[in-house]
Amino acid sequence: MKFVDLYDLFVFDLDGTLARTREDLAESVNHALEHLGQPRRALAEVTRFIGNGARLLLERALGPKASEPLLAEGLRIFLEHYEEHCLDRTKLYPGVLEVTAALAGAGKTLTVLTNKPTSMSLKILRGLGVADRFVRIDGGDSYTRKKPDPMGLQEHMAACAIPPGRTLMIG
């Protein structure tokens, strides 16, 4: 039995799994920081901040002493910039086209579950030409709780009628 035969549902994360998005994320973080009169952050530093959604990304970039109004303004600026520039440097990782095609060709169900807002996730996946490979694409605004909370994953399994033992989360 092949490894792939063990699963029917493959749930992918987006950032750092399907696509290299860190440069565009970092540029949008730095755009927001500059707009707020804060120092820029290095790519490696911003990369460490990625995960758990945009608000936490900005919290980490601004530091623990950032006020709520500063954070809210930074998040607004970041999201506006990222919406326009989320495909400037973002690329699929090598092998993503081949792996997703092979899985779909083998009759597997593919979905995306990310903490990135749904509209931006769709824009990125459409722009990279792979959105149609996924039967469901949900972002951090799709549920009341973000990953790593299991709510979204449980919803994907229920919607696809595939049990946990036949599901693999990738990312």
Rounded to whole angstroms, the Cα distance separating 116 from 125 reads 12
Q: CA 144, 148, 149 angle in degrees (round to 5)?
A: 45
Catalytic residue, candidates 13, 15, 24, 138: 13
Q: CA Rg, the chain, in Å?
A: 17
Question: 114 — phi, psi (to 5°)?
Answer: -135, 160
Catalytic (active site) residue 13: yes
Bond preceding residue 39 cis, omega within 30 of 0: no
Q: Is 168 helix (H, G, I), strand (E, B) or coil?
A: strand
109 CB burial (10 A radius; 0-12, 13-18, 19+): buried
The per-type count for the chain, helices as H runs and strands as E runs, is 7, 6
Q: What is the C-alpha to C-alpha distance for residues 160 and 111, in angstroms, rounded to an integer?
A: 9
Encoded amino acid at 30, one letter:
N
Catalytic residues: 13
